[in-house]
Structure 1
Amino acid sequence: MLSSEDISFFCVVARSRSLAQAARKMNVTAPAVTQRLRALETRVGVRLLDRSLNGITLTDEGELVLAEGQTIIDAVENLTDQLSDRTNTVRGHLQIVAPYGFGRRHIAPIVDAFSREYHEATVTLHLSDTPTRMVNDNWDIIVHIGELNSPGRLMTTLAPNRRFLVASRDYLKGKPPLRHPHDLADHRCLALRENDEDVTLWRFATAGEEQATIRIAPAMSTNDGEILRDWTLAGLGLAVRSEWDVAAHLASGALVRVLPQWNLPETNIVAFLNTRHNRSKRTSKMLEMLRKGLKPTPWLQAE
């Protein structure tokens, strides 16, 4: 007979690339996971996983346990949420996914405040450079910067966010003048490679609706936004950065806007909601705290 703990355990293992990864998720040792999985398979009388050097693969019986087990977990969570609503208690586990830099600076403090206020709820904050690529269904809220063509997900805007072309004053000294986006061909451009964006294609528009699309040849590129910002501060080139990341540096004069009359597409801060969990009280309360924590927009308070 399978217990609810057995089902939860197996669902974590089944959604992991390896038993070692499953062990890290559960904060136990890999041998402990192996031993428990072996005992589970012995008890049910069938093999649930095939293990190889390339990772783990579910057997047909394992696929059945995962599918039916997740249905049972969802039903238990739904019942818990309904009882919580009646008692006005926030409980259960909340999983949030966010980008590295923004997550560290702005989401982590809000998660901290949530945990302090709602002691019966637990929270996991997972930071990723590709938060919207979560392939499993174990998340409640994904915080994302920018637009995303994802019609199957519920989305709500948390805060506005503009993007600027920026550089340090030291970089601009003695460099060719910048009057039009086409002048970028004479400059060192720095690029951030993240998500699935075409990061070498920069699109500009003026208030008068004049448009310019420029294909840059990056002198340097990285998948880490903090590194890109630091390179820009060090005078290594021009970069397109989110307002949340450079507002304080613009206010201090460490960075300046380049081609300020030319606007880049806005990339608002949004939250994607898992359709299975979006009605839970813990999700609603976290969304409420995210909106309050990002309003007024914290990065504009430096100006």
Structure 2
Amino acid sequence: MLSSDDLRFFNVLSKCETLAECARKLDVTPPAVTQRLKALEDRIGIRLIDRSGRTITLTDEGTLVASHGTIVADAMEALTEALSNRKKAVSGHLRVAAPHGFGRIHVAPVLDAFARKHPGVTVTLDLSDFPGARLVDTCDVVIHIGAPAALSEIVTTLAPNRRMLCASPDYLASAPPIQSPADLVRHRCLVVRENDEDVTLWRFLHPSREAETVRIHPTLCSNDGAVVREWAITGQGVAIRSEWNIAGDLAARRLKRVLPAWEVPAADVVAMLGTRSGRSARTTAFLAMLRESLSPPPWRRKPPQ
């Protein structure tokens, strides 16, 4: 017979690619995961995973157990939430995913304050290069910069965020002048590669002219926005970066806006929620605290005189 602990264990295991990943999530050793899985299979007399490959592949029976494990986990979490609401306490486990840089600077401090305010809450913050809709099933809140690719989730805007064409003053002093978007094809361009997006097609909007698109040829590219920002500061070329990321560099004149009359499509800060997570008291309380910390956006606040 399977216990609720067995279902919770297998629910975690079924969402992992390897036993080592499961061990990290459960904070145990990989041999402990292997032994517990073997003991579970021996007790019920059914093999739950296929051991022929390096990654975890569920058998048909394993898929059945995993689906029931998810139902039980959701039911227990819903019960805990309902009981917490009865006593007007925010409790349970809050799972948040966010981009590396934005998460470190703007989300982690809010989670620190949130955990102090609500001692009954535990928190996991998963920093990822490009968190997106794929994490909504395993996280309560996914912080995303820009329009989400999937429209099936609940999406709420947390703060406005423009994107800007920028370069260092030294680069601009030594390079040919940039008077229109078309001039960029003759310049060193720096790009951040994000998922499968076409990051070499730059789009520009103007209040009194037709929109323009330019196919640039990257000199340097990286999947890390912080690296591209540093390259721009050191004079490697022209980049498009988020306002939240370079506002301080613009103020300190480490970077300068290029073609300020032209706008790059904005990338607002949004939160994506699963439909179940959207009803969680802890999710609602965290989003209220995060939204308050971003209002007005820190990158638009004037420094104290």
Bin of the TM-score, shorter chain as denominator length: over 0.9
Partner SS for 2:125: strand
Q: Deviations over 1:34-91 (max 9, x none)?
A: 0111111122221111123431111111111111111111111111111111111111
Whether 2:220 is the aligned partner of 1:241: answer no
The residue type paired with residue 49 of structure 2 is L
Contact 2:178–2:184, Cα closer than 8 Å, also in 1: yes
| Whole-angstrom distance in 2 between the partners of 1:28 and 1:289 | 33
| Whole-angstrom distance in 2 between the partners of 1:133 and 1:273 | 9
Partner SS for 2:75: helix
1:74-223 matches, within 5 Å, as 74-132=74-132, 134=134, 137-223=137-223
User: What fraction of aligned residue pairs are identical, expressed as a percent?
Assistant: 52
The residue type paired with residue 96 of structure 2 is I
Contact 2:250–2:256, Cα closer than 8 Å, also in 1: yes
| Whole-angstrom distance in 1 between the partners of 2:81 and 2:287 | 16
| Whole-angstrom distance in 1 between the partners of 2:9 and 2:16 | 11
Unaligned runs of 5+ in 1: none
Partner SS for 1:240: strand
1:302 is displaced (CA, Å) by 5.2
| Whole-angstrom distance in 2 between the partners of 1:198 and 1:247 | 25
Alignment RMSD, CA only?
1.3
The residue type paired with residue 139 of structure 2 is W
| Whole-angstrom distance in 1 between the partners of 2:73 and 2:94 | 14
1:101 is displaced (CA, Å) by 1.0
Partner SS for 2:56: strand
Whether 2:66 is the aligned partner of 1:72: answer no
| Whole-angstrom distance in 2 between the partners of 1:139 and 1:51 | 28
| Whole-angstrom distance in 2 between the partners of 1:130 and 1:75 | 30
Moved more, 277-286 or 124-133: 124-133
Partner SS for 1:228: helix
| Whole-angstrom distance in 1 between the partners of 2:149 and 2:28 | 37
Q: Deviations over 1:188-241 (max 9, x none)?
A: 000000133211011001111421100100000000011000000000000000
1:167 is displaced (CA, Å) by 0.4
Q: TM-score, normalised to structure 2's length?
A: 0.96
Q: Deviations over 1:71-121 (max 9, x none)?
A: 111111111111111111111111111111111111111111111111111
Which residue is equivalent to 1:47?
A: 47
Unaligned runs of 5+ in 2: none
Q: Does the C-alpha gap of structure 1 residues 136 and 257 become closer, same or farther in structure 2, counting only changes over 3 Å? A: closer
Which residue is equivalent to 1:279?
A: 279
1:136 is displaced (CA, Å) by 7.3
Query: Which consecutive aligned stretches of 4+ in structure 1 deviate over 3 angstroms post-superposition?
Result: none
Contact 1:15–1:136, Cα closer than 8 Å, also in 2: no
Partner SS for 2:143: strand
Q: What is the aligned length?
A: 303
The residue type paired with residue 170 of structure 1 is D
Moved more, 7-16 or 232-241: 7-16
| Whole-angstrom distance in 1 between the partners of 2:31 and 2:251 | 53
Q: Does the C-alpha gap of structure 1 residues 69 and 107 become closer, same or farther in structure 2, counting only changes over 3 Å? A: same
The residue type paired with residue 290 of structure 2 is L
| Whole-angstrom distance in 1 between the partners of 2:213 and 2:121 | 48
Q: TM-score, normalised to structure 1's length?
A: 0.97
Contact 1:164–1:257, Cα closer than 8 Å, also in 2: yes
| Whole-angstrom distance in 2 between the partners of 1:79 and 1:42 | 31
Contact 2:130–2:195, Cα closer than 8 Å, also in 1: yes
